Amino acid sequence: MVMMIRCVSLAWWMTVSLALAAPPRPTLGSIERRDPALDELLSSDARIEVLASGLDWSEGPVWDPAGKRLLFSDIPRNTIHQWSEEGGLAVFMKPSGFTGVGDYGREPGSNGLAFDADGRLLCCEHGDRRVSLLSRDGGKLTLADRFEGKRFNSPNDLAVHPDGSIYFTDPPFGLPQGWRDPRRELDWCGVYRIAPDGTVTLEDRSLARPNGIALSHDGKLAFVAQSDGREPIIRKYEVKPGGGLVEGERFFDASGLEGPGATDGLKLDRAGNVWATGPGGVLIISPEGKLLGRILTGQRTANCAWGDDGSVLYLTADAYLCRVQTRVKGAVPW
């Protein structure tokens, strides 16, 4: 009798344990190792986990530490999604980037997202052609929608400096007809800064298609990726004490790399390595500009963001939301 009870108890415990155990998440792609230094950044068993699928064009991820969730844009659907371990995928805000009536091209929604020092969400909006702030009572405030009286093209990505400055890029990708759109008012694609007092300055107009932008952990360097097949580069700038950018220099050239996607969103870790989306997935580049390896998603990968304790890299890869556990921690805010 005692043995029978023990056997039944063991069987019950095993059944409950199996029911509670989370099934492994699907994975995709692979890790390409080009330099032994990559082993310090990614373990040999690192894998690309798929968290969500069925998206249209995922972009602009940012980790929300207060809500323990990731927010990211689905630009064609004019939506910001949220994802968490407990709640999975859900709509956070719709509309996210175009609040007018009717249609506004293929990419009307928000793109790059960030949080300011007070935990308020900042958005680059294609359709409304502005950088906005979501106030705590739910209303949006326009931080910038013009330069010298002319409307921006379609603010794309942004980065927040420790001093409160906001740097953002403004290519034409969100305009319904791109560069040829009759609504375009500026004759260039710029890199801009919004000072803490709200003043907007043009920091660089020499890049044909500036896209992703990120800052180093100490705020002394800025990196801008150019999404231009003729010159797929990442440019590095020094940030002056007053906030302006010193004339940039070429940091990395992705010409010759094979795989889907273009130089786009990027982030830095605390050691100064650059994790930049590009051909094949995510390029991992040393502070000296050497390609250490790639996270090969096999998808057009638009952007990335640090999350959780700062060591998890989240990826927006076309129709997928993915993540990779790393051995490092990201730059600000961690």
Cβ atoms of 98 and 80 within 8 Å: the answer is no
At 19-70, the pLDDT tens digits run: 455 678 999 999 999 999 999 999 999 999 999 999 999 999 999 999 999 9
User: Residue 86 pLDDT more than 90?
Assistant: yes
Residue 3 pLDDT exceeds 80:
no
* Neighbouring-strand partners of residue 296: 30, 281
Residue 82 covered by a domain: yes
pLDDT-based confidence at 10, cuts 50/70/90?
very low
Predicted confidence (pLDDT) per residue in 174-183, tens digit: 999 999 999 9
pLDDT for position 145: 98
Here the CATH number for the domain that contains residue 276 is 2.120.10.30
Range of the domain at 283: 26-325
Given a cut of 50, whether residue 15 has pLDDT beyond it is no
pLDDT at 116: 95
Q: What percent of the chain has pLDDT over 90?
A: 90
Measured in degrees and rounded to the nearest 5, phi and psi for residue 140 equal -95, 145
For the cut 80, the answer to whether the pLDDT of residue 191 exceeds it is yes
Mean pLDDT value of segment 135-159: 95
Specify whether the CB–CB gap between 161 and 170 falls below 8 A: no
Which among 202, 227, 210, 228 is positioned nearest to 171, based on CA atoms?
210
pLDDT tens profile 298-319: 999 999 999 999 999 999 999 9
Name the residue type at position 112: G
CA angle 85, 90, 96 (to 5 degrees): 125
Q: Is 202 domain-assigned? A: yes
- Return d(Cα 174, Cα 78) in angstroms, integer: 12
Bridge partners (DSSP) of residue 194 are 166, 200
Is residue 120 in some structural domain?
yes
Confidence of residue 6 (pLDDT cuts 50, 70, 90): very low
In a domain, 93, yes or no: yes
Count up the domains in the chain and report the number: 1
What's the whole-number average pLDDT of the chain? 93
**Each residue of 270-287: pLDDT tens digit?**
999 999 999 999 999 999
The pLDDT of residue 118 is 93
Residue 318 phi, psi (nearest 5): 60, -110
The per-residue pLDDT for range 212-227, each reduced to its tens digit, is: 999 999 999 999 999 9
Tell me, what's the pLDDT at 136?
85
**Phi (first) and psi of residue 116, to 5 degrees:** -85, 180
Task: Please indicate, yes or no, if residue 15 is contained in any of the structural domains.
Answer: no
Q: Quickly state the pLDDT bin for 334 (edges 50, 70, 90).
A: low
Please check whether residue 261 is in contact with residue 245, taking contact to mean a CB–CB distance below 8 angstroms: no
| pLDDT score at 282 | 98
Distance CA 80, CA 288 (A): 35
178 in a domain, yes or no? yes
Tell me, yes or no, whether 17 lies in a domain. Answer: no
- Asked if residue 234 is part of any domain, the answer here is yes
DSSP-assigned letter for residue 5? H
Amino acid 13: pLDDT: 47
